[in-house]
Amino acid sequence: MDKLQMELWFTEKQTPDHGITSKVVRTLHHEETEYQTVDVIETRQFGNMLLLDGMVMTTDKDEFVYHEMIAHVAMNTHPEPKDVLVIGGGDGGAIREVLKYPTVETATLVEIDERVIEVAKTYFPSIAGALDDPRVRIRIEDGIRYVEKAENAYDVILVDSTEPIGPAVGLFKREFYERIFHALRRDGIMVAQTESPWFNRDLIARVYRDIADLFPIARLYTASVPTYPSGLWSFTLGSKVYDPLEVDEIKLHRPETKYYTPEIHKALFALPKYVAELTK
């Protein structure tokens, strides 16, 4: 008789009625930190996958889309970003993209869970490697507390958070965006990851409204991230002076990327109607 073939599959239940499933080659890491469960699994389809509380945060194969798109739209809209703050983002991917701009003098990462950074350095060196750059400052702290103390200090702030549960709940609140407004310089720009236009419509509409109330310029854009719920992800941008729609394509930087280009930047804001509705 043939040997019994056992296969291990991981499913993230992305809504009560829908999920994403991947075959697991092996489990590389599992731990309960003070804040969340941290797992790393190896998959054939997407390489190593970082899971926080059972939710896919990043994978070797598709991380570039999310990290490039949370960073470059703001970084390339601001004419001279010098001081950049990333809240969350302990895997280091957003910081890696920010560091591609020669104007950057400091890139500060405020991550609540030190273990995410350590695990990323071990299992995702191509993402977390940038955290060793001398321009990077790492603060292990709640991002909400951190921005309360910052005033007129940053050119760009990126909110690279987990889903709005546990310590990340406050990262989706209006008071937090108010603090970000004050932490930005007079011509600063912020971008927050704002979940799926399929599954999180109320959240996107609410965050967009809050940001549009606070900032003279608010823009919503999307990118296709295959391992995130619904495969389509949204980002909400708030800007005090510079409009990402008005940038001169010719003058834009062409950082080394796999998804973002100045042409994509110009096209990003032509939203499908069912997504544009969320900004009305």
Residues that bind ligand SAM (CB under 6 A): 35, 52, 57-58, 66, 87-91, 110-113, 116, 142-144, 160-162, 167-168, 171, 193
Q: Is 167 annotated as a binding residue?
A: yes
Min. distance of Cβ 176 from ligand SAM in angstroms? 9
Helix, strand, or coil (residue 51): strand
Catalytic pick from 155, 160, 187, 213?
160
Query: Toward ligand SAM, which CB reaches closer, 217 or 237?
Result: 237
And the tokens for 164? 């709005």
| Position closest to ligand SAM via CB | 88
Min. distance of Cβ 112 from ligand SAM in angstroms? 4
Query: Toward ligand SAM, which CB reaches closer, 83 or 111?
Result: 111
d(CA 15, CA 220): 23
Is 17 assigned a catalytic role?
A: no
Q: Is 143 annotated as a binding residue?
A: yes
Q: Is 160 annotated as a binding residue?
A: yes
**Identity of residue 183:** A
Q: Is 163 annotated as a binding residue?
A: yes
Min. distance of Cβ 165 from ligand SAM in angstroms? 9
d(CA 240, CA 188): 6
Min. distance of Cβ 241 from ligand SAM in angstroms? 27
Query: Toward ligand SAM, which CB reaches closer, 63 or 210?
Result: 63
d(CA 280, CA 225): 25
Tell me 110's DSSP state.
E
* All residues at 6 or more sequence positions from 270 whose CB lies less than 8 Å from its CB, including other chains: none
Helix segments in the chain, DSSP class H: 63-77, 93-98, 114-123, 125-128, 143-149, 174-183, 201-214, 262-267, 273-276
Query: Toward ligand SAM, which CB reaches closer, 91 or 97?
Result: 91
Query: Toward ligand SAM, which CB reaches closer, 208 or 217?
Result: 208
Residue whose structure tokens are 């190896």: 42
Q: Is 91 annotated as a binding residue?
A: yes
Helix, strand, or coil (residue 157): strand
And the tokens for 33? 């930190």
d(CA 33, CA 163): 17
Q: Is 36 annotated as a binding residue?
A: yes
Binding-site residues from annotation for S-methyl-5'-thioadenosine: 36, 111, 142-143, 167
Binding-site residues from annotation: 36, 67, 91, 111, 142-143, 160-163, 167
- Which residues are part of the catalytic machinery? 160
Binding-site residues from annotation for spermidine: 67, 91, 160-163
